[in-house]
Structure 1
């Protein structure tokens, strides 16, 4: 359906998050080096004159609070794991912001398609593949990450993670197609699409990186675990749509947002759509809880998991909870999600009270 999207003053709900946020103790170390890699990749201006315009100014970079995001989502990760995931987060945000400024804001579909096709080359499925010389900071960052993302303990992720990244960058082109034509995705279509456009399929990798735990093979492909992963991924992207509504719809004129989808598909007012979006996000979180509490235990018994496998599964589940609570803390604290116009939307509480946490700094 084609519509013209306008932004109105609305009340943003405070989403339910029952799992307490925790902070990785290595955050101070991460803060000391947080700008180094971004400068080396050309994402952030350094002391030397850059060969191309950087993606972020220093104030924009600090407002993202990516070090805080990484330390909140992976509270139990080692310093090595935390540093790797931090670079991965930086790259994903660099791609997002570069794509928005270079193609979404200009409507350059041909340029976006060419950029994306070339970036696919850097998603190498095999070690030792010779890559072309990077032409921009996004390509340089991915070329560097391909040498780091698959240590022996995570070698099984090589094809799966690169497939997830391919879906992520391809979704950017589809978002641009939708925005150029004013086509708002259908509600049923959008749930699946949002997992791709949020890079949610990469999140299980991050949980495994942080915890060192894998979902046991005996149950990995079961219906229950599939539903669990779907609910886990849905919360991430759909909650982000609420937090980033003003930024995406007002600043970027984007139609790829759950609130806009509900408003259009169901004929709701903007406030009604925002409330419905919050209800849907809460429902996905409650389903995640239900599967863990009610459906996973009998599956574990039927599958005959031994004690060690049960401990590993529990560690993975706890890591997934930490990932969600860390994202929630970032959405509600990072200056990145404050409206750029300076008019801060009203907020009201819906559901359980969010546990107390350290405020997200505007500068680190």
Structure 2
């Protein structure tokens, strides 16, 4: 039986060929959150395919067969409207890298490759400190991350770089916590999971990237403003939990322990159907929370436009950031129904996606990095 029963969604003006299961449908997204794509998107697809091959994150035949259908560039091209082309390309490659890293985490967890996992985490932490030194690392995930980080660090300057690095160090540590949880069979409580998920989804790193997109580093008083933080948290919680909702069948099949639905089942005693309904309720509430916060952020942007040149630049940057926070909703929503990543019922083995393989990986290290065949997402 299919994981979710697919039916035609009532309103899909942007993507009429896509069907959305009733359990996953969000009519307010389809009606009130227009879908946008950066004009660089077609070129981005081509560049992303080339990058995946060059970084050896995916062998050439897998790139040709799966890269476009996974729709990773579509996802990012809908997030960061207005970004310079070279920045969007760097963000897209970071996103593809994140998918690959997530699947390596899964396979290392499944096979108990603790030594290899710890080595990878050390390499990623070191990359944030000195990316240029890791560009030729033998592990494609470390070298690919270094390439992305170096390109991102060229955008705004040392203070933004330090903040991004601080946020991403926490992401790596949270993934390590998930690794330990899986090795001990620990399903986090709902509250603990929500906090952990905000790190493993890299909430604040993705929000950081709104600033180079706007070509402006926001001052602390704006970034820490309650309205700005509420809007940012709403868009990121929506994205993380909607991902949980759509990936629940895949993660149950793969014995994953980290999913809001799984925590609800384990610790709140909900049935699968009840858990799906509860996660759906929570993602819907995120939309309402964002719409309320968005008004306050736009009001703040108006106040920042004090008649000075600098005030106008800051106001425009805040408007750009909240505009792209809004774009997360439609981009995340449609991505999950277009990407082959979530079509678990079409896989030969429901526990492992067809674009993921353990070839070339061993506990003592990577025996032949040219054979690595990992790509995927959270």
Specify the TM-score bucket, using the shorter chain as the normaliser.
Answer: 0.7 to 0.9
3-state DSSP of counterpart to 2:162: helix
Q: 2:353 — aligned with what?
A: none
3-state DSSP of counterpart to 2:24: strand
Unaligned runs of 5+ in 2: 6-21, 349-378
**CA offset at residue 292 of structure 1?**
1.7
- Give the Cα separation in 2 of the matches to 1:189 and 1:241: 15
- Give the Cα separation in 2 of the matches to 1:194 and 1:200: 9
Matched, 1:45 2:56: no
Q: 1:261 — aligned with what?
A: 263
Matched, 1:92 2:98: yes
**CA offset at residue 170 of structure 1?**
2.1
Give the TM-score taking structure 1 as reference length.
0.80
**CA offset at residue 213 of structure 1?**
4.4
- Give the Cα separation in 2 of the matches to 1:97 and 1:145: 18
**CA offset at residue 58 of structure 1?**
4.0
Matched, 1:195 2:209: no
- Give the Cα separation in 1 of the matches to 2:298 and 2:58: 47
1:234 corresponds, among 209, 228, 237, to 237
Q: 1:271 — aligned with what?
A: 273
After superposition, the Cα gap between the structure-2 partners of 1:330 and 1:137, relative to the gap in structure 1 and judged at 3 Å, is same
Q: 1:172 — aligned with what?
A: 175
- Give the Cα separation in 1 of the matches to 2:151 and 2:325: 22
After superposition, the Cα gap between the structure-2 partners of 1:245 and 1:235, relative to the gap in structure 1 and judged at 3 Å, is same
- Give the Cα separation in 1 of the matches to 2:63 and 2:245: 26
- Give the Cα separation in 2 of the matches to 1:282 and 1:275: 11
**CA offset at residue 215 of structure 1?**
4.1
**CA offset at residue 222 of structure 1?**
2.5
Are the aligned partners of 2:3 and 2:249 in contact in 1 as well (CA < 8 Å)?
no
Q: 2:161 — aligned with what?
A: 158
Are the aligned partners of 1:88 and 1:145 in contact in 2 as well (CA < 8 Å)?
yes
Compute the RMSD of aligned alpha carbons. Answer: 2.8
- Give the Cα separation in 2 of the matches to 1:132 and 1:27: 26
- Give the Cα separation in 2 of the matches to 1:195 and 1:214: 22
Are the aligned partners of 2:79 and 2:327 in contact in 1 as well (CA < 8 Å)?
yes
- Give the Cα separation in 2 of the matches to 1:68 and 1:299: 31
Q: 1:319 — aligned with what?
A: 324
**CA offset at residue 21 of structure 1?**
0.9
Give the TM-score taking structure 2 as reference length.
0.77
2:38 corresponds, among 10, 24, 42, to 24
3-state DSSP of counterpart to 1:80: helix
Are the aligned partners of 2:187 and 2:257 in contact in 1 as well (CA < 8 Å)?
yes
3-state DSSP of counterpart to 2:153: coil
Q: 2:224 — aligned with what?
A: 221
After superposition, the Cα gap between the structure-2 partners of 1:226 and 1:58, relative to the gap in structure 1 and judged at 3 Å, is same
After superposition, the Cα gap between the structure-2 partners of 1:84 and 1:267, relative to the gap in structure 1 and judged at 3 Å, is same
User: Which deviates the most, 276-285 or 154-163?
Assistant: 154-163
Q: 1:334 — aligned with what?
A: 339
- Give the Cα separation in 2 of the matches to 1:114 and 1:215: 35
After superposition, the Cα gap between the structure-2 partners of 1:41 and 1:233, relative to the gap in structure 1 and judged at 3 Å, is same
Q: 2:112 — aligned with what?
A: 107
Matched, 1:79 2:85: yes
Matched, 1:211 2:221: no
**CA offset at residue 104 of structure 1?**
2.1
Are the aligned partners of 2:127 and 2:133 in contact in 1 as well (CA < 8 Å)?
no
- Give the Cα separation in 1 of the matches to 2:273 and 2:173: 31
Q: How does 1:117-128 map to 2 (within 5 A)?
A: 117-124=122-129
**CA offset at residue 305 of structure 1?**
5.2
Q: 1:292 — aligned with what?
A: 294
Unaligned runs of 5+ in 1: 1-6, 48-55, 344-364
Are the aligned partners of 2:238 and 2:286 in contact in 1 as well (CA < 8 Å)?
yes
1:314-351 per-residue CA deviation (whole Å, 9 max, x = no partner) reads 121102112332122211211111115559xxxxxxxx
**CA offset at residue 310 of structure 1?**
2.6
- Give the Cα separation in 2 of the matches to 1:9 and 1:220: 39
Quick check: which one's helix share is greater? 2
- Give the Cα separation in 1 of the matches to 2:303 and 2:149: 39
- Give the Cα separation in 2 of the matches to 1:107 and 1:144: 28
Are the aligned partners of 1:245 and 1:259 in contact in 2 as well (CA < 8 Å)?
yes
